[in-house]
Amino acid sequence: MAGGYDVAISGSGPAARIELIVQVLAPGARALSTGEVVSSADLIVLAVPMHRFRELGRELFAGKILATAPAGTSVLVQEWFSSARVVKASTTSAT
């Protein structure tokens, strides 16, 4: 549990490959496979390079709340994952 939330992180490869990185950079989070994250999540924050998001199946996030960066890329993400409800995630910037 991180901040009262069950946080899981996946990468493009096996969960074991990012386990140490997750422990160091996101204490309390768990490294899981993408399928495990999607099956157990209520809210998914998608952070993937724009040139790679189309590699994910269109129905992968069906029925899930999928948060993306607050830029215009949300339109592309919503078109690709048409069965998900895409919402913009908040970000912070240095001032």
pLDDT one-digit tens code per residue, 36-51: 999 999 899 888 887 8
pLDDT band, very low/low/confident/very high, at 86 (cuts 50, 70, 90): confident
> Does pTM top 0.85 for this prediction?
no
Dist CA 70 CA 63 (whole Å)? 21
19-31 per-position pLDDT tens digit: 999 999 999 999 9
Burial of 95: CB neighbours in 10 Å, binned 0-12, 13-18, 19+: exposed
The residue ranking higher by pLDDT, 70 or 64, is: 64
- Comparing C-alpha atoms, which of 53, 54, 61, 66 is closest to residue 35? 61
